Chain A
């Protein structure tokens, strides 16, 4: 089945997935904390839209529940929490210089290609309209990981972590039209708790080392000196 034979709605789903990938790249390059959080929220929103469309086009209406949880968690709760923390910690104006942006972008592109090749055998086996997006979801996961590696600010690392979660959720949605509901609920609960714990950690780190720069967390070594 060639691309042109897909219905317009399915094409829209694929376009949305590509937009999600774009937001992942934007997250990688974004240096202002507030814009970072906003970009993350928009990624969540695209995810929500994509899930709704998939639910509609595939007739798996239970996906609406997952989409609703995404909306509540990734678009409203987590960004709200992060914004509030950023305000309370007074780091709204913080700008993080992302080291070697072009190298990171190239690495990101390489990761996308890598996930394409990893997902290739899976794609062959699937007959869902969304099978091509499995590679994209894996790329979003890996890009989130790349972001956590390259960033030095605790907030940015958390955003990377949450964006990885987005990728995982997306992977579940596009490869199998969602995990069983009990598992989805469990995952959502874990994300919720993790977000709250991250908030607590911000205060602890701030109180402990006087900054949210995780480069200062350097007292423990593999081999004691």
Chain B
């Protein structure tokens, strides 16, 4: 219990403190320490939940079970490694004058604010608060997207704000509808929007309203996941903001939005007599997966390219949760972890690569492996990992997903394979010259902290070779929560 409160209060306090001292020259280090503390408390929280089962705080505001606690842990971990990377990265940006003291304050404060909203969204028991927190995440990051104040970054920020605002409004309407359905069971009680209460009564909820609600919720949170055709903001926001921002947006925000959708699916599908929510998720997922793979080929900005890759993977996960069944769900949960880790590692390397080349244009980044072998190799390895090569963890989870697809709908395997091949070709077409090409004259290595990248890739590799029992058990518990049946 204390661990939970600490996990939430530390970033909250840090957010306030950084609003005042964020431009201090050791603020980056402090940021790192704060993230480390958050990580430790969330680890403690995970252990608590793992040994004692789910927990509800008094007042029922927070509810931690196997499903969200592992996401909280991933959240804290990615936050930690990103803050390790962010320290030298932002110091460099400050040195070359792209940001000033005021914006550093904003950056550090909102970095913590973003982590806070993510943690609140994951841990809350109240579906209304879930919405408030996801909207809060947009608000926290929107000024970070436009941090550099270039016309492009302002455009990206505005688009992000408007599109996500419109999208998330649909989700609120969906939440209202769920509350409407819930009120039928126990009218006038404020507790009816609580997940723990709703879950117990899900079979009494009115199916027509819930179906309608799910459509709105999927469109709303789907905008945040970046599902095609609601994805327009995502590549812009990822490419124009500072790189640590892209890393946590891609690694965390998308996951949290997907988490929200899955929570609602868990609630709504048992109340319906059909599988429409599943089919809708599969449809949206498949569409995003294929479209993003194709669009990946046409990118010229390195961060945009990888953000399309994020859309592709989010589509895959949405698809997998849509298939349902223990195998697919287990695979999707695993994929959430490995995608977060790999993608944030890639964005961190991309940040270094962009500093080396002084630009984000794919055509002007050349010969990383000769200029700075560490960056070049990790970049290559990260791309190999995200493309789904063995022995990395992405391969394992994708393999599980494919197996599940073969079991339930074999005819969908073909488009999945083709999509994967298309995305793979798109990635390597661009990455190969960036890594191996001839470096331009006078390209110098930069000061880079490779620790977070190596750590992430190592974890992904480990998950690819063998999933530790403890994690497997854990994911299995989460799978039981989501689909009612375990894999192991």
> Within 8 Å by CB, do A and B touch in the complex?
yes
Enumerate chain A interface residues (CB-CB to B < 8 A): 60, 118, 121-122, 125-126, 138, 141, 145, 148, 154, 157, 161, 164-165, 168, 171-172, 175-176, 179-183, 186-187, 189-190, 193-194, 197-198, 200-201, 204-205, 207-209, 214, 217-220, 222-224
Decide yes or no whether B212 CB sits under 8 A from chain A.
yes
Interface CB pairs A-B, < 8 A, 6: A125-B208, A141-B170, A141-B173, A180-B128, A186-B131, A204-B149
Contact call A220/B152, Cβ cutoff below 8 A: yes
B173 interface neighbour in A157, A161, A171, A205, Cβ under 8 Å: A171
- Expressed in whole angstroms, the Cα–Cα distance for A44 and B171 within the complex equals 22
Name the CB-closest residue of A to B211.
Answer: A121
In the complex, the chain A residue whose C-beta lies closest to that of B170 is: A141
Q: Counting CB contacts under 8 A, is B447 at the interface?
A: no
Complex: chain B residue closest to A196, CB-CB: B139
B contact residues around A209 at 8 Å (CB): 151, 154
A186 touches B132 (CB 8 A): yes
Contact A179–B128 (Cβ < 8 Å):
yes
Taking a contact as CB atoms under 8 Å apart, the answer to whether B154 and A125 are in contact is no
Question: What is the minimal beta-carbon distance from A222 to any residue of chain B, in angstroms?
Answer: 7
Q: Which of B157-165, B369-377, B410-418 contacts A (4 or more CB under 8 A)?
A: B157-165
Residue with the highest number of chain B CB atoms closer than 10 Å, among A154, A186, A200: A186
When chains A and B are docked, how far (Å) is the Cα of A217 from the Cα of B153?
A: 10
User: Are A197 and B143 interface neighbours, CB within 8 A?
Assistant: yes
The answer to whether B128 touches A182 (Cβ under 8 A) is yes
Residues of chain B lying within 8 A (CB to CB) of residue A138 = 173
Interface string of B162-180 (1 = CB under 8 A from A): 1001100110110111011
Q: Is B184 an interface residue (CB 8 A)?
A: yes
When distances are taken between beta carbons in the complex, the residues of chain B under 8 Å from A154 are 158
Contact A224 B304 (CB under 8 A): yes
Write the residues of chain B forming the contact surface with A, with a CB cutoff of 8 angstroms: 61, 126, 128-129, 131-133, 135-136, 139, 142-143, 146, 149-152, 154-159, 161-162, 165-166, 169-170, 172-173, 175-177, 179-180, 183-184, 188, 190-191, 193, 206, 208-209, 212, 232, 235-236, 239-240, 295, 298-301, 304
**A180-B193, A190-B135 given; A125·B209 CB < 8 A:** yes
Q: Is the CB of B236 within 8 A of A176?
A: no
How would you classify the secondary structure of chain B's contact residues: helix, strand, loop or mixed? helix
- Docked-complex contact B155 and A201, CB < 8 angstroms: no
| Closest CB in chain A relative to B135 CB, distance in Å | 5
Of listed B149, B173, B300, residue having the most chain A CB within 10 A: B173
Contact of A183 with B129 in the complex, beta carbons under 8 Å: yes
In the complex, how many angstroms separate the beta carbon of A95 from the nearest chain B beta carbon? 22
Pairwise interchain contact A222-B166, C-beta atoms closer than 8 A: no
Least CB distance from B100 to A in Å reads 14
Chain A residues whose C-beta falls within 8 Å of the C-beta of B158 in the assembled complex:
154, 201, 205, 214, 217
Residue of A nearest to B301 (CB): A224
> Is A219 a contact of B206 with CB atoms below 8 Å?
no
Most chain B CB within a 10 A radius of its CB, from A60, A208, A214: A208
Instruction: Tell me the minimal C-beta distance from A112 to chain B in angstroms.
Output: 16
Per the bound structure, the CA–CA distance linking A161 and B190 in Å amounts to 28
- CB-nearest residue of chain B to A121: B208
Q: Which of B61, B132, B208, B232 contacts A222 (CB 8 A)?
A: B232
Residue of B nearest to A164 (CB): B169
B175 contacts which chain A residues (CB < 8 A)?
A: 179
B139: min CB distance to chain A, Å: 5
State whether A186 and B129 are in contact (beta carbons under 8 Å apart), knowing that A175-B177, A200-B143 are contacts in the complex.
Answer: yes
A78 to B38, CA, bound (A): 36
Is there contact, CB below 8 Å, between B157 and A204? Answer: yes
A141-B173, A190-B132 in contact; A121/B209 too (CB < 8 A)? Answer: yes
Q: Is the CB of A197 within 8 A of B149?
A: no
Residues of chain B within 8 A of A201, CB atoms compared: 142, 146, 154, 157-158, 161
